[in-house]
Amino acid sequence: MENSLIRLKDVSKFYYNKGVIASGFSKVSLEFNMGEFVAITGESGSGKSTLLNVISGLDTYEEGEMYIDGKETSHFSEKDFENYRRKNIANIYQTFNLINSYTVFQNIELVLMLNGTKRRELKKKAFDLIKKVDLYKFRNTKVSKLSGGQKQRVAIARALAKETPIIIADEPTGNLDLASAEEVVKLLREIAKERLVIIVTHNYEQVEKYVTRKIKMHDGKVLEDKQISETKEAALPPQKKQKNISFGNLIRLGVRNTFNVVPKFVLLLIVFAFLTIAILAEYASYEKNNYLNSISGYNWVFNNASNNRVVIKKADSQPISDEELAAISALENVDSVVKNDLPLDNMVFLNDENYNYWLNGSAVGIDTLQGEPDAGRLPENANEIVVGLSKDNYFIQGSAEEMVGLTLYGENDMGEIDLTKPYYIAGVKYIEDSPMLSDKYGSMLFFVSNDYLNNYNFELNRQYSHLRVLFDEKYYDSDQYSPQFMIIPNANVDPGCVVVSYNLNETVERGYVRGLPLSITNKSLYYETGLDLEIVDTYSKWNIEDKLGIPYDEEKEGAIYINPDQYNSLFATGTFQSSIFVKDFSDEALQPLKDYLDANGFKYLALTDALYIDDMAIMSNIFYTFMTIVLFIVLFFITYFVIRLIMKSRNVYYTTFRMLGGKKSSIRFIIILELVVVASIAYGAFMVFLYLNYAGYFVVPFVDNMLNYLTILDYVILYLIFLGMAILIGNKYASKLFKGSAMKAFRDEV
Ligand code: ADP
Ligand code: MG
């Protein structure tokens, strides 16, 4: 025969194992043709399985040449062999290797799907094949419930479904009783009439009556090759076009596999539910932390940390209007409202000329004083104040009245704000339980005129500002510590103009700065302002007095001078953060206020709710972000390993799938689809659970954060992150599955 279906010429197979070379078989020359039913026999270890594996393209060979349909295969890559197997070989195994969780029909259908059979042909084709092996009655029975003989008949039907010219069976009757074995062999005999069937058997007598040829192996060599009966030369079946599994069928398989093995499904669902809760909870508390930090701004050192205090800001970062504050003041539980609350958290220190008195406290508006002073009188001038203090104030016990009439000088706790204006104490008021009174170090309240308070506020705003100058395309920080670009208001400068030091001339290419633009920006706690100016003049040591009306000051060399009104406009004095003091800070009493604030576009922080507000808030924010990311990564790996463990029970499925001709990409898709479906179910179920909490059907405390701090957009983004994790996990798992060759994976699993 000049063109055999398979021809081996001096083929040898060696195994290399840790430096030791073992021979599988050597110098084997054989030919096989359509219509043959070949039995290979021989003692254990004689090389039968190795030979079958090489013919199947599951193992490579090292010497000689194997021809398939006249074509050489020694140069084949792993991928070529995968194609070769898909086109030519169907395997039947001693251990069946069916998918036990599938029904008979589904096992056959799977192979048909992998062949690219169209959906409407699937059923008929599968049923025909099942009838052929006489299992129609059992078509919807799970394979795990069948007897050994029945299983092997399913395997035969499955091999037929592959529609390959060659069927290879390694000890197909090894696990069967005599009667079943006989049936299986007869069936193979029928099939062999229009294919090539090669089987390995220990028990040659059992198959003797049916086979057309006997090959006996011994120690890796062919000892005997004998024709037993005539074969009719069958024609090669027409080569089919190689088709891939359709997308629709991939989806059907993915979904089927999701629910197919119930315990696996439940385990995966639990893992993904855990992942959902962990991610949502972590992200929600991250958002909460951000929120707390955002509401407290840079002003996180709450000097006044009274439980009665509620700090508010507009959610849109706009100023708070007087009308809004008036409306809040009128609410039932509200005791008082402090319009600009920066002074509450910045201590003012006052002392008299002789340093007999050292007072410290917060400056508040005179309008918040309730009732008449206990000593002295109400202020009559802008520079008069009333001191409010507890009767048993640690520092000045008993001598409060003596303070009336004192002149005091002050600075705030930073020592940077010029408050050298004198304060005359017009009166003293005993205050026992005002929430505004900070409980720090015998702190007091200084009731000052609105003029003073506005001034002070302005100074504080300035202090919390971050000024930058843009000049000659470069940015410079401007502050009161260095003269370079220090910004000073000067009445001689017109709006829109700026006067700079003549030294700047040297720094620009053209040699003079007059006419150049200069911008100033201020990024403050709550707002951003800016000025676009033009340099109209320069000053020097000799002409500054003439031009700006001020004496030369070496320490301010490099400062820039701008119009005072414009200077003031940099520090917008609107109200951006206020504090409400409530009468009752219990949860029930606070809730209506919170609801009101929510409904009216405020962000708020009730200090009684604040978990921690300390100097570390910003550090903690960075740390928190870092920890959140680390936690997500850790979660990813924990989930990956747990899922890998769960999926391990399915490895047999995937390797079988691969042996049947399923492609890498198909398996990858099916695994990912399965994980995505379970992940989505878990996420969706949790969303329903959240909704039920939200709607009040039941209330589980730990979901509070999620309901309060996550928006719809967050849920969508987290879902996408979640899906991304599922896809990554599926991908990683699929890659691991395909690390070795098909045979290696198969040997490991079966
Ligand atoms: P049979 O199927 O006839 O019992 P095999 O084909 O399984 O025999 O084995 C033939 C020879 O190849 C034996 O000597 C066996 O030890 C060796 N062999 C088989 N598989 C491997 C392997 N994976 N690694 C190393 N040696 C192997
Ligand atoms: Mg064997």
Position 444 pLDDT exceeds 90: no
The backbone torsions φ and ψ at residue 158, rounded to the nearest 5 degrees and listed phi first, read -65, -40
Lowest mean pLDDT among 79-93, 229-243, 527-541: 229-243
Residue nearest to atom 19 of ligand 1 (CA): 24
Residue 617: per-residue pLDDT: 57
Residue 297: per-residue pLDDT: 44
Residue 533: per-residue pLDDT: 95
Of residues 613 and 131, more confidently modeled: 131
pLDDT tens by residue, 475-507: 898 887 788 999 999 999 999 999 999 999 998
pLDDT tens by residue, 504-535: 999 888 889 999 999 999 987 777 888 999 99
Residue 613: per-residue pLDDT: 47
Among 14, 20, 46, 170, name the best residue to mutate to test ligand 1's pocket (greatest count of ligand atoms within 8 A of Cβ). 46
The backbone torsions φ and ψ at residue 112, rounded to the nearest 5 degrees and listed phi first, read -60, -40
Return d(Cα 664, Cα 99) in angstroms, integer: 18
Residue 480: per-residue pLDDT: 76
- Print the SS3 string covering 250-278: HHHHHHHHHHHCHHHHHHHHHHHHHHHHH
- pLDDT interval class at 634 (50, 70, 90): confident
Of residues 727 and 524, more confidently modeled: 727
Give Cα 455 to chain centroid, integer Å: 48
Residue nearest to atom 5 of ligand 1 (CA): 47
Residue nearest to atom 2 of ligand 1 (CA): 49
Residue 465: per-residue pLDDT: 84
Position 288 pLDDT exceeds 80: no
| C-beta of 48 in contact with ligand 1 (< 6 A) | yes
Residue 416: per-residue pLDDT: 41
Amino acid at 259: F
Instruction: Tell me how far the alpha carbon of residue 349 lies from the centroid of ligand 1, in angstroms.
Output: 93
Task: Judge if pTM exceeds 0.75.
Answer: no
Q: Which ligand is nearest to the CA of 221?
A: 1
Of residues 116 and 684, more confidently modeled: 684
pLDDT tens by residue, 243-282: 788 888 889 989 998 998 898 899 999 999 988 888 888 8
Residue in the structure block whose two tokens are 């359509």: 34
Residue 742: per-residue pLDDT: 60
- pLDDT interval class at 306 (50, 70, 90): confident
Position 415 pLDDT exceeds 50: no
Residue 620: per-residue pLDDT: 63
Torsion angle defined by CA atoms of residues 294, 297, 300 and 304, in that order, rounded to the nearest 10 degrees: -110
Q: Where are the alpha helices (DSSP H) in 573-711?
A: 587-599, 617-648, 651-659, 664-694, 704-709
Of residues 434 and 475, more confidently modeled: 475
For ligand 1, what atom is nearest to the CA of residue 747? 23
Residue 154: per-residue pLDDT: 94
DSSP three-state, residue 385: strand
* Mean predicted lDDT score pLDDT of the chain: 85
Report CA-CA distances (Å) from 247 to 153, 163, 735.
29, 21, 21
Residue nearest to atom 13 of ligand 1 (CA): 45
The backbone torsions φ and ψ at residue 312, rounded to the nearest 5 degrees and listed phi first, read -125, 155
Average pLDDT, stretch 151-178?
A: 90
Average pLDDT, stretch 620-635?
A: 79
Residue pair 605/577 in contact by the 8 Å Cβ criterion? no
Return d(Cα 206, Cα 202) in angstroms, integer: 9
Residue 409: per-residue pLDDT: 80
Residue pair 603/315 in contact by the 8 Å Cβ criterion? yes
| C-beta of 22 in contact with ligand 1 (< 6 A) | yes
Residue 703, both tokens: 């979901």
Listing from the earlier edge strand, what are the strands of the sheet with 37-41?
Answer: 89-93, 166-170, 196-200, 37-41, 213-218, 221-227
| C-beta of 17 in contact with ligand 1 (< 6 A) | yes
Return d(Cα 569, Cα 528) in angstroms, integer: 11
Q: What percent of the chain has pLDDT over 70?
A: 90
Cβ atoms < 10 Å from Cβ of 401: 12
Average pLDDT, stretch 298-317?
A: 73
Residue 671, both tokens: 């695994």
Torsion angle defined by CA atoms of residues 369, 373, 376 and 381, in that order, rounded to the nearest 10 degrees: 20
Return d(Cα 252, Cα 268) in angstroms, integer: 19
* Helix (DSSP H) and strand (DSSP E) numbers for the chain: 20, 28
Of residues 581 and 356, more confidently modeled: 581
pLDDT tens by residue, 372-390: 898 889 999 888 899 988 8
Structural domains in the chain? Answer: 6-243 (3.40.50.300), 249-291+616-749 (no CATH), 297-336+575-612 (3.30.70), 342-440 (no CATH), 466-569 (no CATH)
Residue 541, both tokens: 């040591």
Instruction: Tell me how far the alpha carbon of residue 41 lies from the centroid of ligand 2, in angstroms.
Output: 10
Instruction: Tell me how far the alpha carbon of residue 44 lies from the centroid of ligand 1, in angstroms.
Output: 9
